[in-house]
Amino acid sequence: MTAFPQSLFDLSGRTALVTGASSGLGQHFAQTLARAGAEVVLAARSVDKLEAAVQGIRQAGGKASAVSLDVTDRDSVCAALDAVGAPDILVNNAGVSGTKRPLDYTDADWDWVLDTDLKGAWMTAQETARRLVAARRPGSLINITSILASRVTGLLTPYAAAKAGLSHLTRALALELARYQIRVNSIAPGYFITGINREQLTGEEGEKFKLRIPTRRFGEYPDLDGPLLLLASDAGRHMTGAELVVDGGHLVSAL
């Protein structure tokens, strides 16, 4: 019998860039990739928070560094990638969201969300792919979408539109970049408590909200580890254009 590989998910020797790694899911993604052996670069605008996270990863035995990045600014995206080099793995995680009724959103609100969640992810993926292709190296790009890419809820109109765009961008890029051995997939999280939604998901309202989720709980950060490592590593080597939903069944519920 052929021995099963020690770890299909081993990322030793790979580099990974995680955008929006100064807090929440992005910071956890960086820690997870480092634990799997990757050398991770944590990117966001809050460099002080990144540096603290880098220290934590290093103290745990991982390899990490930080780079300042504003995904809404192409010069900043290029400068960050030029500083760290093209990563083998990109986690396009930076995101923002506001809550208003559709009649109240301003153009500035719309641009803030779309420029970060969709255009920012596009520019970061494009500049990463350009550098990987020039270096003739394969890669894995992972976009963090949302279940709101497929279903909708109140007050989040631009966010839902941006995430639906990012979900479809994933498939469009997967088609075009396959010839360069660059895989492009997405993870669609359900509800995980982070800075982006803490107000909505805690307290009495949060408890009511939980009843809409078939598993009756919010996601816990480690719930995302398996899907992330599957897409990042050779375990998912024939996967491209896929979206992994991690939501406790929320998307298949009627509520």
Ligand X SMILES: NC(=O)c1ccc[n+]([C@@H]2O[C@H](COP(=O)([O-])OP(=O)(O)OC[C@H]3O[C@@H](n4cnc5c(N)ncnc54)[C@H](OP(=O)(O)O)[C@@H]3O)[C@@H](O)[C@H]2O)c1
CA separation for the pair 53, 116 (Å, rounded): 22
Pick 61 or 195: Cβ nearer ligand X: 195
CA distances to 32, 214, 243 from 224, in Å: 9, 17, 13
CA separation for the pair 41, 82 (Å, rounded): 13
Q: Which of 94, 156, 174, 245 touches ligand X (CB under 6 A)?
A: 94
Annotated catalytic residue within 105, 159, 180, 191 = 159
**Residue given tokens 């080597």 in the structure block:** 237
- Give me the least distance between CB of 112 and ligand X, in Å please: 9
Binding segment for ligand X (CB under 6 A), chosen from 65-73, 79-87, 134-142, 168-176, is 65-73
105 is catalytic: no
Pick 180 or 221: Cβ nearer ligand X: 221
Pick 138 or 199: Cβ nearer ligand X: 199
Q: Report the half-sphere exposure of 225 (CA within 13 A, side-chain side).
A: 13
Binding residues for ligand X restricted to 213-252, rule: CB under 6 A: none
Tell me the DSSP string of 187-212: EEE--B-STTTHHHHSHHHHHHHHTT
Yes or no: say if 231 and 246 are a contact pair by the CB < 8 Å rule: no
CA separation for the pair 153, 151 (Å, rounded): 7
Does 165 participate in binding ligand X (rule CB under 6 A)? no
Q: Which of 96, 142, 174, 229 touches ligand X (CB under 6 A)?
A: 96
Does 192 participate in binding ligand X (rule CB under 6 A)? yes
Binding residues for ligand X restricted to 111-140, rule: CB under 6 A: 116, 120
CA separation for the pair 174, 239 (Å, rounded): 9
- Give me the least distance between CB of 201 and ligand X, in Å please: 8
Q: Which of 9, 11, 14, 24 touches ligand X (CB under 6 A)?
A: 24
Just list the catalytic residues: 159
